[in-house]
Amino acid sequence: MTHSALPARVVVTGATGKLGRAVVAHLRDEGVDVLAVDRAGGPDPRAVGGEFLLVDLTDYGQVVEAFTGGTDEHAGGIEAVVHLAAVPAPGLVSNAATFANNSAATYNVFAAARAAGIKRVVWASSETVLGLPFDTPPPYAPVDEEYAPRPESTYSLNKALEEEMARHFCRWDPELVMVGLRFSNVMDVEDYATFPSFHADPRARRWNLWGYVDARDAAQAVERALAHDRPGADVFIVANADTVMTRSSASLMAEVYPGVEVRGELGRHETLLSIGKARRVLGYEPRHSWRDHVDPAPLAPE
Ligand SMILES: NC(=O)c1ccc[n+]([C@@H]2O[C@H](COP(=O)([O-])OP(=O)(O)OC[C@H]3O[C@@H](n4cnc5c(N)ncnc54)[C@H](O)[C@@H]3O)[C@@H](O)[C@H]2O)c1
């Protein structure tokens, strides 16, 4: 592991979104000075709380201003960027609109960070690049970062291109540290009430190999990634340590993907989205589980 102190002042994009809210709260709790930005701030952006700036990231000029202290009332001194803003899934808007927004926003964030001399960028990639929804079975399980991206949607294609773009930004600047976090499906505590509905049908959640990530653990991963100081671009799967299911991970694989090689000894509910690299390199360790929040009584037998 190569770790340094957390940067003192950070921009978080997508700050009013599901993941952004958890990340901003977590970083502020850790004492990081956060400039939160998003294009959505409700009717009155001043009501968001904390330092907030309404920014459309598809406009490069606005991004440069945000990163350099060019906007009245918002200081510069930005040491790192956490880029979470995006249309966050396939099928919400048209493919062309997803690609236009997400690719322009990410290019502008990466390029403006470079122009501002910011040497640390952490951004949200996605579990989708692993081949979700796995209509083509995974090459082996648990899946990890060792095989090439297999995007199956325009949303995911854009995430795969962002990972490639980061490699080139790092080639251009040998001091740059860029960390892509391939988040699993992000869950707030209130979402756990729906989990028992998954249990009767082993195929209901096969699309992401029964994975999830608690928003608070995702925020911890962002914090660990901000402390990562090995120059270059790298990517990490970020999921919780268990699956969404009551059945064992081995029995799920045997029933749903009988032809897929299962590597190593699986713990009973061990995630099939390997977090071994994030644990090893970033020191990420999920602290939460849906099992701590849902009464086990109504759960189907294992
Ligand atoms: N939610 C998940 O399950 C999940 C899983 C894997 C990866 N991700 C990724 O994590 C990130 C955050 O996702 P989320 O679930 O918090 O989504 P969200 O929709 O709740 O939040 C995304 C935020 O980005 C903002 N945004 C979008 N385009 C923008 C633009 N052009 N300029 C400024 N702001 C813009 C939106 O206003 C929104 O507040 C995204 O990059 C998403 O692709 C999410």
Q: Is residue 295 part of a domain?
A: no
C-alpha dihedral, 207 to 211 to 215 to 219, nearest 10°: -110
User: Which ligand 1 atom minimizes the distance to the CA of 85?
Assistant: 24
Which of 155, 183, 217, 237 has most ligand 1 atoms within 8 Å of CB, for mutation? 183
Number of alpha carbons in the 13 Å side-chain half-sphere of residue 270: 16
User: CA angle, 238 as apex, 235 and 240 as ends, to 5°?
Assistant: 165
Instruction: Give the CATH number, domain containing residue 227.
Output: 3.40.50.720
> pTM higher than 0.85, yes or no?
yes
- Whether residue 248 is contained in a domain is answered as no
Residue 111: inside a domain: yes
Ligand 1, pocket-test mutation among 18, 52, 57, most atoms within 8 A of CB: 18
Judged against a pLDDT cut of 70, whether residue 302 lies above it is answered with no
Residue 57 lies in a domain: yes
Domain total for the chain? Answer: 1
Does residue 180 line the site of ligand 1, with CB under 6 A? no
pLDDT of residue 291: 97
Expressed as residue numbers, the domain containing 162 is 9-191+212-241+274-286
Least confident stretch, 137-141, 189-193, 291-295: 291-295
- The answer to whether residue 262 sits within a structural domain is no
**For 204-216, how does the pLDDT look when each residue is reduced to its tens digit (9 = 90+)?**
999 999 999 999 9
Does 85 sit in the ligand 1 pocket, CB within 6 Å?
Answer: yes
2, part of any domain: no
- Residue 70 located in a structural domain: yes
The pLDDT assigned to 1 comes to: 55
13-54 pLDDT, tens per residue? 999 999 999 999 999 999 999 999 999 987 677 777 899 999
Q: Does any domain span residue 267?
A: no
